[in-house]
Amino acid sequence: MTIRELIEEQRRRMGPGKPVERFAAAMLIPAVLAERLAGLADRQVGQLLLDEVWPGLSPLAPESTICLHAADRLRGQMKQSPTCPKCDSEMIRHIGIDEPDFLKCALLNCGLRIQET
Ligand SMILES: [Zn+2]
C-alpha cells in the first residue's frame, strides 16, 4: 500500500461506519503511516504537508501560513518551473512520494503531467 493509499484509507475509516473500522483507523493505520513517514526525505514530508494538510486549513488562520512556510522550508529550493508545452500555462513541480518527481500543468482542464528526469 502506498503512503497516499494509507492516508485515504485512514480518512475513509474515520467517516461514519462500523466502530471496529473506526478503531482500526485510530489505532493501527497511524502507526503504519508513522513508520512509512519516517522513511521519507524532508522534501517529501514537505510535499505531503502541502497536499494533505494545508488544503484542510482555513486560509485566514495562522495555521495555514505556518503550514505553507514549513512545507516550503522542507521542500527546499525549487528549480524554476517551465511552461506547459501543451497550453503554455505554468507547470507546478511536485516532489514524488510513492513515485518519481513530476511536473503538473496548473490549468486543471489541461492536467498535463510530465515525469522529472
Ligand atoms: Zn497545460
- For 5-41, the pLDDT digits (tens) are 999 988 888 878 778 878 877 888 999 999 999 999 9
- Rounded to two decimals, the pTM is 0.85
Cα of 51 vs centre of ligand 1, distance in Å, is 20
Residues 96-107: tens digit of each pLDDT = 999 999 999 999
Cα of 33 vs centre of ligand 1, distance in Å, is 33
User: Is the predicted pLDDT of residue 88 greater than 80, yes or no?
Assistant: yes
pLDDT of 8: 92
Measure the CA dihedral 51/98/117/49, to 10°: 20
Whether 1 and 12 share a structural domain: yes
Cα of 91 vs centre of ligand 1, distance in Å, is 7
Domain that holds residue 82: 78-117
Q: What percent of the chain has pLDDT over 70?
A: 100
Domain count, the chain: 3
Cα of 60 vs centre of ligand 1, distance in Å, is 30
Whether 34 and 11 share a structural domain: yes
Whether 46 and 66 share a structural domain: yes
Q: Chain-wide mean pLDDT for the chain?
A: 92
Whole-angstrom Cα distance, residue 39 to residue 108? 31
Whether 47 and 68 share a structural domain: yes
pLDDT of 91: 94
pLDDT of 22: 82
Cα of 81 vs centre of ligand 1, distance in Å, is 12
State the cell numbers at 81: 518551473
Placement of cell 511552461 in the chain: 83
Cα of 114 vs centre of ligand 1, distance in Å, is 10
